[in-house]
Amino acid sequence: MPMGDPEPKSDMPSVSVVVVNWNGIDVLGECLESVLSLEYPISEVVVVDNGSTDGSELLPSRLIGERAVAIRNSKNLGAPVGRNQGMRRAVDSGSDYVFTLDNDLTVACDAVGELVKVLEADPSISMAGALILFRDRPDVIQSAGNLVNWTQNLVRTLGANQELSGQFVGCWDVDYVGSGAMLTRTGFIRKHGLFDETYLGYGYEDTEYGYRANRLGFRVVCVADAHVWHRPHTGVGRYTYRKKYLESRNAVLFMKRHGNAWRWTKYLTFLFLGFGYAAIREGARGNLGGVWGKMHGFFDGLRNYEKRAYRLMDK
């Protein structure tokens, strides 16, 4: 049933949905409409707005009305901070689970129910992610979860660009799932905390969160029967200076937390080879700014420099 029941049935675990928005006028409406169509009864929809100026900050109250809980920030605080604000609200309101959803995704009507089913069946699972498909190619996989492999991008995405043909069944263990479509136990949050907010802007905060859960002995899984559809590059672009800078800086932060001698050797080898390859490939496409962003982010991450990241988030 769509958000139809004002409260979840007493015998069903309660779920809060948290959507973080920043200038998503072209995507947020469709995202919220899909939330309204969820079959699983939702306790509340928390929309955290990171200082939008395009009118999208007005959409939650217009589409959801009093069922929406609006948290409005005066400026862009980044995805980790925004998600944490919404997740704190879910914990404080007593929800059993929190489903974090990016504003450029739409969710299948049965997806949350499928995720709840998986977590209810196994208490060792701390968080479960949906199978992410492309919005413009709805049967093509963008991500079926991720494994940390310590190369220049740190991770390998399962199923990327494969046509969905039954190759993924049930659920499977991964190092992390994208926080843009993830169901997490609030019990895990209460005991082990939220996203690390030193990962400024966005990028690798969900990598760290899932990796942390695994190190604590919890499972992180991706679920085949839970589908969402993503419209990529609607926020920071595909290969912009800002995108590559924030990703690169946060990747170094992850390495500082979890790297050892072998991991650093592998990461740096791939990274410096990747700089040269990116300069040639992306330079030919007119994206040298993104290459410079990647380099600047790497060196700023090494020296713990934050001012440039904060300036980029304000743009």
Mean of per-residue pLDDT scores for the chain: 92
Report the distance separating Cα 232 and Cα 136, nearest Å. Answer: 10
Q: Does 4 have pLDDT greater than 60?
A: no
Interval 33-69: pLDDT, tens = 999 999 999 999 999 999 999 999 988 888 887 778 9
Q: Within a 13 Å sphere around the CA of 273, how many CA atoms are in the beta-carbon half?
A: 9
- Over residues 127-131, the mean pLDDT reads 98
Q: How far apart, in whole angstroms, are the C-alpha atoms of residue 269 and residue 93?
A: 47
User: What pLDDT, on a 0 to 100 scale, did the predictor assign at position 279?
Assistant: 85
pLDDT digits (tens, 9 = 90+) for 192-239: 999 999 999 989 999 999 999 999 999 999 999 999 999 986 655 578
How much is the CA Rg of the chain, to the nearest whole Å?
Answer: 19
Q: Does the domain spanning 15-230 belong to CATH 1.20.58.220?
A: no
What average pLDDT does the segment 60-79 reach?
Answer: 88
Q: Is the model more confident about 35 or about 284?
A: 35
- Cα separation of 55 and 23, whole Å? 8
The structure tokens listed for 208 are 């760290």
Angle 284-157-249 from CA coordinates, rounded to 5°: 60
Largest CA distance in the chain: 59
Quick check: 310 pLDDT over 50? yes
Determine the pLDDT at residue 12.
92
Q: What is the pTM assigned to this prediction?
A: 0.93
The ranges assigned to domains in the chain are: 15-230, 241-314
